[in-house]
Amino acid sequence: MNIVLMGYMGCGKSAVGKNLASELKAMYLDLDQYLEIKEKKTIKQIFEDEGEIYFRKKETEYLKEILETSANTIISLGGGTPCFAGNMELILANANAKSVYLKTSLDELVNRLFKEKEKRPLIAHIQDKEDLKDFIRKHVFERSFYYNQASFSVTTDNKSVQEIVEELKIVLL
């Protein structure tokens, strides 16, 4: 069984995914890292050289590949992955996958992301918390339709990574 983690950037997909994989003795795979390895370029370089349409096509191609060939793997998606090219339908149609939305409040996302915005090209240019809040609010609103289709939803606010992992083990196993 594969477990597919989704949610907005900063919700904890990577940290939770790595820890969950360790606890379940499963493999861990980050779709963005997988894409970078396959394309031999960073996500930023792909966007600059090829554009978003190319990136989204490759993202879907590699998601299909992973879902078809992986077993017992925790898969962290990019924040936008479920929202493009029928990717959410791909995940839901896969009998060997359970999907989980790591749901994080707007205020919590702003607090987490403002501290590390320099590491995140999508928001690096945003200078104050109110502008960041507006940016995130718009994205979460647009993406929530897809995120809310996940098989399970776990709220991450005020929880440690370990607490989220323990909650996931209860709902998934």
| CATH code where residue 135 lies | 3.40.50.300
- The answer to the question of residue 33 being in a domain is yes
- The answer to the question of residue 173 being in a domain is no
Residue 42 near residue 36, CB atoms below 8 Å: yes
Query: Does the pLDDT value for residue 92 go beyond 90?
Result: yes
Annotated binding site for substrate: 32, 56, 79, 143
Q: How confident is the model at residue 39 (pLDDT cuts 50, 70, 90)?
A: very high
- The answer to the question of residue 170 being in a domain is no
Query: Does the pLDDT value for residue 173 go beyond 80?
Result: no
Annotated binding site for Mg(2+): 14
Annotated binding site: 10-15, 32, 56, 79, 120, 143
In the predicted model, what is the mean pLDDT of the chain?
93
- The answer to the question of residue 85 being in a domain is yes
Q: Around Cβ 8, how many Cβ atoms within 10 Å?
A: 22
> How many domains does one find in the chain?
1
Instruction: Tell me the three state secondary structure of residue 149.
Output: coil
Query: For residues 38 and 13, what is the distance between their CA atoms, to the nearest angstrom?
Result: 21
- The answer to the question of residue 102 being in a domain is yes
Query: For residues 21 and 42, what is the distance between their CA atoms, to the nearest angstrom?
Result: 24
Global pTM reads 0.93
Which residues span the domain enclosing 151?
2-163
Instruction: Tell me the three state secondary structure of residue 26.
Output: coil
Question: CA 106, 46, 147 angle in degrees (round to 5)?
Answer: 30
Annotated binding site for ATP: 10-15, 120
